[in-house]
Every structure is written in structure tokens, then in C-alpha cells.
């Protein structure tokens, strides 16, 4: 999805502003949004890619006008409404209505199980998948893909020439997963680009940028 979240290489957003002694959360509702998103994903399973995809679907003007946890809240709400576990009417009234019998959900995660799961993590690595098409040192060109669905290939790299500097092994493919096409496990490579390849002759000749790209993002070059 070529929308405003894919902002690498844009001008015009102004200086980076750091807050001294920044708290983890800036308001109690931010705490609750973070925790709700994490906890409810056990009972109504969704992945980071579902959440990212829902955030990316927020129209650009609202995306830019929203704070980070406002984006999470909107995306989480959209996911839960899409799964029919919450309705706009309930959110407006604040009153829960009975859950339809045909909706599959799990029970609430307990505090201990939640913390154990977070400590274990949710590895993207898979035991097997599509054979690797590339090897260390190979020259590759990022494909010029412009799907209307979720993708982890940023626009600024499309069509650009890089080199494989690491093979991270086989992982679930976020692009496929985000559009509901299953995990399609495949190799993920660290692909190094010169800054001049990405940004033209005005860029530093010395500097590089590395992206982690899936096998399906790449063509031999």
C-alpha cells in the first residue's frame, strides 16, 4: 500500500524533536491502548501485520493528524469491528451486547500467560520454506511492486540495485500474511544499497542503507 506511512525519503516534516526524560506513556489512555491491543490479540488472534495493515489503511490526512496511540486505537477498533467482536453501537453507548454465537474467540489471557508469551516472543522464523534464490554477495534489484495491500518493501527501494550482505534464514512473509494469503515462508536477506543508488548523485558516496527484503521482493541483477 503506497500510502503516507511509507514516508522514507520525504521532505517537509520539519526537525526531529526529542523530549527530555520522556515517559513511556504520555497519558493513562495510551497505557490502556497499548495493553488492550496486546492482550486482546490472544483472545481474538491477529498479527502485527494485521495491525500494521489497519494503521496503513487510515487515510493520509488523518494519519498525519493523529498521535501514535490514536492510530493504534483506530486500527485496533477497526480490526475488532471487522471480526464482529465489537460494534460502533457498543462503542458509542459503552454497553456491551451479547457476542454472536458464530464468532470464534478464546478466553482472556491471564497476567502470567501474557507475560510468559511476551517473554517468549512471536518468532517469524520458520523451519522450512521456499529455497533461497540468492547468496551472499549477489547483486539484486528490488522489484517495482505497487500492491494496494500491505507490503514491507518501501517505495524508495523499488527498482534499486543492491547486494546481499546476509541471509537471515526462512521467515514468514509479511506481505502475504498481511493480505490474508498465508505465511509463504521464504528467505529474508539483508540487502545493502549505496546511498547514491537510492538518492542520486548528491548523496554521500561513502554511506549505505540496509533493508531486510524477502526473496519475493528481489530479482537477480
Q: Is 204 helix (H, G, I), strand (E, B) or coil?
A: coil
136 binds its own copies (CB under 8 A): no
Please choose, from the candidates 136, 168, 173, the residue with its C-alpha nearest in 3D space to the C-alpha of residue 47.
Answer: 173
Question: Quick one: what does residue 144 bind among its own copies, another protein, none, with the CB cut-off 5 to 8 Å set by partner type?
Answer: its own copies
Give dist(CA 16, CA 18) in Å, integer.
7
Least Å distance between CB 127 and its own copies?
A: 31
Stretch that binds its own copies, among 27-35, 84-92, 110-118, 197-205 (CB under 8 A): 197-205
Distance, CA of 127 to CA of 138 (rounded, Å): 24
Residue whose CB is less far from its own copies, 19 or 202: 202
Q: From the list another protein, its own copies, none, which binds 165 (C-beta under 5 to 8 Å, kind-based)?
A: none
Closest by Cα among 148, 153, 216, 175 to 50? 175
To which residue does cell 547468496 refer? 135
**Grid coordinates 521532505 are at which residue?**
11
For its own copies, which is the closer residue by CB, 111 or 201?
201
16-55: which residues touch another protein (CB under 8 A)?
16-19, 22, 24-29, 31-36, 38-40, 43-44, 52, 55
Q: Residue 24 interacts with its own copies (CB under 8 A)?
A: no
Q: Any contact of residue 144 with another protein (CB under 8 A)?
A: no
- Cβ-contact 55, 77 below 8 angstroms: no
The C-alpha cell at 31 is 497505557
Is 68 a binder of another protein (CB under 8 A)?
yes
Asked if 150 and 174 count as a contact pair (C-beta separation under 8 A), the reply is yes
How far CA 185 is from CA of 15, 56, 110, 121, 128, in Å, comes to: 39, 23, 31, 18, 7
The site map against another protein for 181-220 (x = CB under 8 A) is -------x-x----x--xx---xx-xxxxxxxxx------
Q: Work out how close the CB of 193 gets to its own copies at its nearest, in angstroms, rounded to a whole number.
A: 12
Cβ at position 141, least distance to its own copies in Å: 11
Q: Which one of 10, 115, 116, 221 is in contact with its own copies (CB under 8 A)?
A: 10
CB atoms within 10 A of CB 129: 20
Residues in contact with its own copies by CB under 8 A are: 1-4, 9-14, 56-57, 59-61, 64-65, 143-148, 155, 158-160, 198-200, 202-203
Amino acid at each position: 500500500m503506497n500510502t503516507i506511512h511509507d514516508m522514507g525519503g520525504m521532505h517537509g516534516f520539519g526537525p526531529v524533536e526529542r523530549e527530555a526524560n520522556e515517559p513511556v506513556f504520555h497519558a493513562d489512555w495510551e497505557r490502556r491502548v497499548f495493553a488492550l491491543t496486546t492482550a486482546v490479540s490472544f483472545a481474538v488472534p491477529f498479527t502485527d501485520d494485521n495491525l500494521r495493515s489497519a494503521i496503513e489503511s487510515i487515510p493520509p490526512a488523518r494519519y498525519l493528524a493523529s498521535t501514535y496511540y490514536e492510530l493504534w486505537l483506530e486500527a485496533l477498533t477497526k480490526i475488532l469491528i471487522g471480526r464482529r467482536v465489537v460494534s460502533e453501537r457498543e462503542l458509542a453507548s459503552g454497553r456491551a451486547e451479547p457476542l454472536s454465537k458464530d464468532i470464534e474467540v478464546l478466553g482472556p489471557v491471564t497476567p502470567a500467560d501474557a507475560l510468559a508469551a511476551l517473554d517468549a516472543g512471536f518468532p517469524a522464523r520458520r523451519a522450512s520454506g521456499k529455497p533461497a534464490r540468492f547468496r551472499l554477495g549477489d547483486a539484486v534489484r528490488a522489484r517495482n511492486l505497487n500492491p494496494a495491500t500491505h507490503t514491507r518493501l518501501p517505495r524508495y527501494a523499488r527498482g534499486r540495485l543492491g547486494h546481499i550482505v546476509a541471509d537471515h534464514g526462512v521467515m514468514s512473509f509479511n506481505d502475504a500474511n498481511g493480505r490474508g494469503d498465508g505465511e509463504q515462508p521464504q528467505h529474508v536477506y539483508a540487502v545493502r544499497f549505496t546511498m547514491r543508488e537510492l538518492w542520486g548523485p548528491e548523496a554521500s558516496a561513502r554511506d549505505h542503507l540496509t533493508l531486510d527484503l524477502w526473496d519475493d521482493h528481489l530479482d537477480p541483477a
